[in-house]
Chain A
Amino acid sequence: MSDEQTLREPDERPEPGTAAEGTGGDETGGQRAEGAASGNGPDSAVQESQEPAADGGAAAERAAEDRVANGRRRLLNGLWPPRLSRAQLIVAVLLFVLGLGLAIQVRTTSDNGALRGARQEDLVRILTELDNRSQRLQDEKRGLESQRSQLETSSNQAAEALKQTQQKEAQLGILAGTVKAEGAGITLTITDRHGGVQADSLLDTLQELRAAGAEAIQIDDVRVVADTYFTQGADGVLIDGHKLSQPYVFKVIGNPQDLEPALNIPGGVVQTLEKEQATADVVRSQKIVVDALRPSKQPDYARSSQ
Protein backbone atom coordinates (compact mmCIF):
# COMPACT_ATOMS: atom_id res chain seq x y z
CA MET A 1 0.00 0.00 0.00
CA SER A 2 2.85 2.38 0.73
CA ASP A 3 4.21 1.64 -2.74
CA GLU A 4 0.95 2.81 -4.29
CA GLN A 5 1.16 5.87 -2.13
CA THR A 6 4.57 6.90 -3.39
CA LEU A 7 3.55 6.28 -6.98
CA ARG A 8 0.42 8.29 -6.69
CA GLU A 9 1.77 11.22 -4.75
CA PRO A 10 3.26 13.32 -7.63
CA ASP A 11 -0.10 13.50 -9.43
CA GLU A 12 -1.87 14.76 -6.37
CA ARG A 13 0.72 17.24 -5.33
CA PRO A 14 -1.11 20.31 -6.77
CA GLU A 15 -3.86 19.89 -4.22
CA PRO A 16 -2.10 19.55 -0.88
CA GLY A 17 -5.25 19.15 1.17
CA THR A 18 -6.40 16.14 -0.77
CA ALA A 19 -2.99 14.61 -0.69
CA ALA A 20 -2.81 15.05 3.01
CA GLU A 21 -6.20 13.45 3.38
CA GLY A 22 -5.10 10.59 1.19
CA THR A 23 -2.02 9.89 3.26
CA GLY A 24 -4.03 10.17 6.41
CA GLY A 25 -6.54 7.67 5.11
CA ASP A 26 -3.82 5.21 4.24
CA GLU A 27 -2.74 4.72 7.79
CA THR A 28 -5.56 2.39 8.75
CA GLY A 29 -8.22 0.90 6.60
CA GLY A 30 -10.94 1.72 9.09
CA GLN A 31 -10.19 5.45 9.20
CA ARG A 32 -10.10 5.90 5.48
CA ALA A 33 -13.32 4.00 5.04
CA GLU A 34 -14.96 6.39 7.43
CA GLY A 35 -13.54 9.34 5.51
CA ALA A 36 -14.99 7.97 2.29
CA ALA A 37 -18.33 7.37 3.89
CA SER A 38 -18.57 10.96 5.13
CA GLY A 39 -18.22 12.22 1.53
CA ASN A 40 -15.32 14.54 2.13
CA GLY A 41 -15.19 16.27 -1.28
CA PRO A 42 -15.04 14.85 -4.80
CA ASP A 43 -11.29 14.32 -4.73
CA SER A 44 -11.49 11.84 -1.97
CA ALA A 45 -14.23 9.98 -3.82
CA VAL A 46 -12.01 9.80 -6.86
CA GLN A 47 -9.24 8.47 -4.70
CA GLU A 48 -11.48 5.75 -3.32
CA SER A 49 -12.43 4.64 -6.77
CA GLN A 50 -8.77 4.56 -7.75
CA GLU A 51 -7.98 1.85 -5.26
CA PRO A 52 -10.98 -0.36 -4.83
CA ALA A 53 -8.81 -3.37 -4.05
CA ALA A 54 -7.26 -1.70 -1.05
CA ASP A 55 -10.67 -0.70 0.18
CA GLY A 56 -12.00 -4.23 -0.19
CA GLY A 57 -8.98 -5.56 1.68
CA ALA A 58 -9.62 -3.14 4.47
CA ALA A 59 -13.24 -4.18 4.73
CA ALA A 60 -12.29 -7.81 4.80
CA GLU A 61 -9.77 -7.04 7.49
CA ARG A 62 -12.37 -5.37 9.58
CA ALA A 63 -14.82 -8.20 9.07
CA ALA A 64 -12.15 -10.69 10.06
CA GLU A 65 -11.43 -8.71 13.18
CA ASP A 66 -15.08 -8.74 14.06
CA ARG A 67 -15.27 -12.43 13.42
CA VAL A 68 -12.21 -13.04 15.58
CA ALA A 69 -13.75 -11.11 18.41
CA ASN A 70 -16.99 -12.97 17.94
CA GLY A 71 -15.17 -16.31 17.86
CA ARG A 72 -13.52 -15.63 21.14
CA ARG A 73 -16.76 -14.53 22.63
CA ARG A 74 -18.48 -17.62 21.34
CA LEU A 75 -15.76 -19.81 22.82
CA LEU A 76 -16.11 -18.16 26.21
CA ASN A 77 -19.88 -18.38 25.99
CA GLY A 78 -19.64 -22.06 25.19
CA LEU A 79 -17.30 -22.67 28.06
CA TRP A 80 -19.08 -20.68 30.73
CA PRO A 81 -21.73 -20.88 32.06
CA PRO A 82 -22.37 -24.55 31.35
CA ARG A 83 -25.56 -24.97 29.39
CA LEU A 84 -27.33 -28.23 28.83
CA SER A 85 -28.08 -28.09 25.14
CA ARG A 86 -28.47 -30.87 22.64
CA ALA A 87 -25.31 -29.82 20.80
CA GLN A 88 -23.29 -29.76 23.99
CA LEU A 89 -24.54 -33.20 24.96
CA ILE A 90 -23.78 -34.75 21.60
CA VAL A 91 -20.33 -33.21 21.49
CA ALA A 92 -19.75 -34.35 25.05
CA VAL A 93 -20.62 -37.91 24.11
CA LEU A 94 -18.30 -37.87 21.13
CA LEU A 95 -15.51 -36.30 23.11
CA PHE A 96 -16.06 -38.90 25.79
CA VAL A 97 -15.51 -41.56 23.15
CA LEU A 98 -12.41 -39.73 21.95
CA GLY A 99 -11.01 -39.43 25.45
CA LEU A 100 -11.70 -43.10 26.06
CA GLY A 101 -9.90 -44.11 22.89
CA LEU A 102 -7.06 -41.77 23.65
CA ALA A 103 -6.60 -43.13 27.14
CA ILE A 104 -6.84 -46.73 25.99
CA GLN A 105 -4.36 -46.16 23.22
CA VAL A 106 -1.90 -44.33 25.43
CA ARG A 107 -2.14 -47.01 28.08
CA THR A 108 -1.81 -49.79 25.53
CA THR A 109 1.23 -48.19 23.97
CA SER A 110 2.95 -47.61 27.27
CA ASP A 111 1.79 -50.89 28.80
CA ASN A 112 3.31 -53.74 26.91
CA GLY A 113 5.60 -52.29 24.40
CA ALA A 114 5.26 -52.52 20.69
CA LEU A 115 3.80 -56.00 20.46
CA ARG A 116 0.23 -55.38 21.57
CA GLY A 117 -0.76 -52.73 19.08
CA ALA A 118 1.48 -54.04 16.32
CA ARG A 119 0.05 -55.18 13.03
CA GLN A 120 0.56 -58.59 11.58
CA GLU A 121 3.42 -57.68 9.27
CA ASP A 122 5.22 -55.90 12.08
CA LEU A 123 4.79 -58.99 14.23
CA VAL A 124 6.16 -61.16 11.46
CA ARG A 125 9.14 -58.84 11.11
CA ILE A 126 9.75 -58.86 14.85
CA LEU A 127 9.50 -62.63 14.88
CA THR A 128 12.02 -62.91 12.07
CA GLU A 129 14.38 -60.60 13.86
CA LEU A 130 14.05 -62.66 17.01
CA ASP A 131 14.72 -65.82 15.04
CA ASN A 132 17.85 -64.29 13.55
CA ARG A 133 18.96 -63.11 16.93
CA SER A 134 18.47 -66.50 18.52
CA GLN A 135 20.34 -68.04 15.60
CA ARG A 136 23.23 -65.68 16.19
CA LEU A 137 23.20 -66.43 19.88
CA GLN A 138 23.17 -70.15 19.18
CA ASP A 139 26.21 -69.74 16.96
CA GLU A 140 27.95 -67.75 19.62
CA LYS A 141 27.10 -70.37 22.22
CA ARG A 142 28.49 -73.11 20.03
CA GLY A 143 31.71 -71.18 19.52
CA LEU A 144 32.08 -70.60 23.23
CA GLU A 145 31.46 -74.24 24.00
CA SER A 146 34.11 -75.39 21.57
CA GLN A 147 36.46 -72.85 23.07
CA ARG A 148 35.72 -74.23 26.50
CA SER A 149 36.40 -77.79 25.44
CA GLN A 150 39.65 -76.65 23.87
CA LEU A 151 40.61 -75.02 27.11
CA GLU A 152 39.75 -78.17 29.01
CA THR A 153 41.88 -80.37 26.79
CA SER A 154 44.63 -77.81 26.68
CA SER A 155 45.67 -78.66 30.23
CA ASN A 156 46.87 -81.95 28.76
CA GLN A 157 48.43 -80.00 25.94
CA ALA A 158 50.24 -77.83 28.41
CA ALA A 159 51.67 -80.88 30.16
CA GLU A 160 52.73 -82.26 26.81
CA ALA A 161 54.30 -78.96 25.88
CA LEU A 162 56.14 -78.88 29.18
CA LYS A 163 57.48 -82.36 28.56
CA GLN A 164 58.60 -81.43 25.09
CA THR A 165 60.22 -78.31 26.41
CA GLN A 166 62.13 -80.30 28.99
CA GLN A 167 63.30 -82.71 26.32
CA LYS A 168 64.37 -79.84 24.16
CA GLU A 169 66.20 -78.27 27.05
CA ALA A 170 68.13 -81.51 27.59
CA GLN A 171 69.04 -81.64 23.90
CA LEU A 172 70.13 -78.06 23.88
CA GLY A 173 72.03 -78.62 27.09
CA ILE A 174 74.02 -81.35 25.36
CA LEU A 175 74.72 -79.04 22.47
CA ALA A 176 75.66 -76.15 24.72
CA GLY A 177 77.73 -78.41 26.96
CA THR A 178 75.91 -77.62 30.14
CA VAL A 179 74.85 -81.21 30.87
CA LYS A 180 76.68 -84.48 30.85
CA ALA A 181 76.10 -86.85 27.98
CA GLU A 182 76.67 -90.52 27.44
CA GLY A 183 76.07 -92.91 24.64
CA ALA A 184 77.67 -94.90 21.89
CA GLY A 185 80.63 -93.36 20.17
CA ILE A 186 84.35 -93.53 19.67
CA THR A 187 87.50 -92.54 21.44
CA LEU A 188 90.18 -90.99 19.25
CA THR A 189 93.60 -90.88 20.77
CA ILE A 190 96.28 -88.84 18.99
CA THR A 191 99.80 -89.37 20.13
CA ASP A 192 102.20 -86.80 18.80
CA ARG A 193 105.74 -87.46 19.92
CA HIS A 194 107.40 -85.01 17.57
CA GLY A 195 105.09 -82.11 18.06
CA GLY A 196 104.09 -82.05 14.43
CA VAL A 197 100.39 -81.81 15.06
CA GLN A 198 99.35 -78.20 14.89
CA ALA A 199 96.13 -76.55 15.88
CA ASP A 200 94.81 -76.60 12.34
CA SER A 201 95.14 -80.39 12.20
CA LEU A 202 93.16 -80.73 15.38
CA LEU A 203 90.54 -78.33 14.00
CA ASP A 204 90.30 -80.43 10.85
CA THR A 205 89.83 -83.50 13.00
CA LEU A 206 87.10 -81.81 14.96
CA GLN A 207 85.31 -80.63 11.85
CA GLU A 208 85.51 -84.09 10.37
CA LEU A 209 83.93 -85.51 13.51
CA ARG A 210 81.20 -82.91 13.43
CA ALA A 211 80.53 -83.58 9.80
CA ALA A 212 80.22 -87.25 10.60
CA GLY A 213 77.46 -86.55 13.07
CA ALA A 214 79.21 -86.23 16.40
CA GLU A 215 76.77 -85.07 19.02
CA ALA A 216 78.96 -84.41 21.99
CA ILE A 217 82.73 -84.06 21.99
CA GLN A 218 85.24 -83.72 24.75
CA ILE A 219 88.94 -83.18 24.17
CA ASP A 220 90.92 -84.03 27.28
CA ASP A 221 88.94 -82.15 29.92
CA VAL A 222 87.43 -79.54 27.65
CA ARG A 223 83.92 -79.82 26.33
CA VAL A 224 83.72 -78.86 22.68
CA VAL A 225 80.91 -76.46 21.88
CA ALA A 226 80.00 -74.06 19.11
CA ASP A 227 82.53 -71.40 20.07
CA THR A 228 85.41 -73.73 20.80
CA TYR A 229 88.66 -72.54 19.30
CA PHE A 230 92.19 -73.85 18.92
CA THR A 231 95.25 -71.70 19.22
CA GLN A 232 98.85 -72.53 18.55
CA GLY A 233 100.84 -71.74 21.65
CA ALA A 234 104.60 -71.62 22.02
CA ASP A 235 104.79 -75.10 23.51
CA GLY A 236 101.75 -76.76 22.12
CA VAL A 237 98.13 -76.38 21.22
CA LEU A 238 95.60 -74.57 23.38
CA ILE A 239 91.92 -75.23 23.25
CA ASP A 240 89.70 -72.48 24.61
CA GLY A 241 92.75 -71.16 26.37
CA HIS A 242 93.57 -74.48 28.07
CA LYS A 243 96.84 -76.21 27.35
CA LEU A 244 96.27 -79.58 25.77
CA SER A 245 98.43 -82.36 27.09
CA GLN A 246 99.67 -85.37 25.17
CA PRO A 247 98.08 -87.60 24.11
CA TYR A 248 95.10 -85.79 22.79
CA VAL A 249 92.04 -87.82 23.68
CA PHE A 250 88.77 -87.12 21.83
CA LYS A 251 85.73 -88.60 23.43
CA VAL A 252 83.02 -88.45 20.80
CA ILE A 253 79.41 -89.50 21.12
CA GLY A 254 77.73 -90.33 17.85
CA ASN A 255 77.10 -93.24 15.60
CA PRO A 256 80.39 -95.24 15.72
CA GLN A 257 79.74 -96.71 12.29
CA ASP A 258 79.70 -93.22 10.85
CA LEU A 259 82.46 -91.73 12.90
CA GLU A 260 85.17 -94.30 12.47
CA PRO A 261 85.06 -94.53 8.66
CA ALA A 262 84.91 -90.75 8.50
CA LEU A 263 88.28 -90.65 10.23
CA ASN A 264 89.79 -93.60 8.46
CA ILE A 265 88.89 -92.81 4.87
CA PRO A 266 91.90 -92.50 2.53
CA GLY A 267 93.25 -89.03 2.67
CA GLY A 268 91.28 -88.49 5.82
CA VAL A 269 92.19 -87.35 9.26
CA VAL A 270 94.11 -90.42 10.32
CA GLN A 271 96.29 -90.47 7.23
CA THR A 272 96.95 -86.78 7.48
CA LEU A 273 98.00 -87.15 11.10
CA GLU A 274 100.24 -90.04 10.26
CA LYS A 275 101.97 -87.84 7.74
CA GLU A 276 102.71 -85.52 10.62
CA GLN A 277 104.51 -88.35 12.42
CA ALA A 278 101.64 -88.82 14.82
CA THR A 279 99.55 -91.86 15.54
CA ALA A 280 95.81 -91.78 15.65
CA ASP A 281 93.91 -94.49 17.39
CA VAL A 282 90.19 -94.96 16.95
CA VAL A 283 88.32 -97.20 19.34
CA ARG A 284 84.61 -97.83 19.13
CA SER A 285 82.67 -98.03 22.33
CA GLN A 286 79.06 -98.56 23.29
CA LYS A 287 79.40 -96.26 26.20
CA ILE A 288 81.24 -93.02 25.98
CA VAL A 289 80.78 -90.59 28.86
CA VAL A 290 81.25 -86.92 28.13
CA ASP A 291 81.35 -85.39 31.56
CA ALA A 292 83.21 -82.15 31.06
CA LEU A 293 80.80 -79.25 31.51
CA ARG A 294 80.48 -75.66 30.44
CA PRO A 295 78.89 -73.01 32.56
CA SER A 296 75.59 -71.93 31.07
CA LYS A 297 75.98 -68.40 29.95
CA GLN A 298 73.21 -65.84 29.68
CA PRO A 299 73.63 -63.84 26.49
CA ASP A 300 74.03 -60.14 27.09
CA TYR A 301 72.20 -58.89 24.03
CA ALA A 302 70.44 -61.71 22.27
CA ARG A 303 66.95 -62.42 23.57
CA SER A 304 64.55 -65.10 22.55
CA SER A 305 62.18 -63.66 20.02
CA GLN A 306 59.40 -66.12 20.71
Chain B
Amino acid sequence: MTDDKSRHDIKNQLGIILGFSEILLAEAPAGDPRRRDLEEIHTAAKAALDLLARVFPVDADTLQ
Protein backbone atom coordinates (compact mmCIF):
# COMPACT_ATOMS: atom_id res chain seq x y z
CA MET B 1 0.00 0.00 0.00
CA THR B 2 1.44 3.40 -0.94
CA ASP B 3 1.90 6.19 1.58
CA ASP B 4 -0.76 8.16 -0.23
CA LYS B 5 -3.30 5.34 -0.01
CA SER B 6 -2.42 4.75 3.65
CA ARG B 7 -2.85 8.43 4.44
CA HIS B 8 -6.18 8.56 2.63
CA ASP B 9 -7.52 5.47 4.40
CA ILE B 10 -6.35 6.52 7.87
CA LYS B 11 -7.73 10.03 7.34
CA ASN B 12 -11.06 8.50 6.34
CA GLN B 13 -11.23 6.48 9.55
CA LEU B 14 -10.27 9.45 11.73
CA GLY B 15 -12.84 11.57 9.93
CA ILE B 16 -15.52 9.06 10.85
CA ILE B 17 -14.48 9.14 14.52
CA LEU B 18 -14.35 12.95 14.51
CA GLY B 19 -17.67 13.31 12.71
CA PHE B 20 -19.62 11.00 14.96
CA SER B 21 -18.03 12.31 18.16
CA GLU B 22 -18.89 15.90 17.15
CA ILE B 23 -22.49 14.91 16.50
CA LEU B 24 -22.76 13.11 19.84
CA LEU B 25 -21.14 16.05 21.65
CA ALA B 26 -23.63 18.44 20.07
CA GLU B 27 -26.50 16.23 21.18
CA ALA B 28 -25.28 15.43 24.70
CA PRO B 29 -26.96 17.64 27.29
CA ALA B 30 -24.85 19.92 29.44
CA GLY B 31 -23.85 18.10 32.60
CA ASP B 32 -23.95 14.67 30.98
CA PRO B 33 -20.91 12.88 32.46
CA ARG B 34 -20.29 11.19 29.09
CA ARG B 35 -19.40 14.53 27.55
CA ARG B 36 -15.91 14.31 29.03
CA ASP B 37 -15.43 10.85 27.48
CA LEU B 38 -16.61 12.13 24.13
CA GLU B 39 -14.28 15.10 24.37
CA GLU B 40 -11.37 12.71 25.00
CA ILE B 41 -12.29 10.70 21.89
CA HIS B 42 -12.60 13.86 19.84
CA THR B 43 -9.34 15.33 21.10
CA ALA B 44 -7.46 12.09 20.46
CA ALA B 45 -8.82 11.81 16.93
CA LYS B 46 -7.77 15.39 16.17
CA ALA B 47 -4.32 14.73 17.60
CA ALA B 48 -4.04 11.59 15.45
CA LEU B 49 -5.00 13.62 12.39
CA ASP B 50 -2.22 16.12 13.14
CA LEU B 51 0.21 13.24 13.68
CA LEU B 52 -0.84 11.72 10.36
CA ALA B 53 0.03 14.94 8.55
CA ARG B 54 3.51 14.83 10.06
CA VAL B 55 4.13 11.12 9.45
CA PHE B 56 2.74 11.15 5.91
CA PRO B 57 3.33 14.62 4.47
CA VAL B 58 1.63 15.25 1.14
CA ASP B 59 3.93 14.58 -1.82
CA ALA B 60 4.25 17.24 -4.46
CA ASP B 61 3.02 14.82 -7.12
CA THR B 62 0.17 13.40 -5.07
CA LEU B 63 -3.35 14.15 -6.23
CA GLN B 64 -6.64 14.07 -4.27
- Decide whether A and B are members of one complex: no
> Taking beta carbons and an 8 Å cutoff, which residues of A are in contact with B?
none
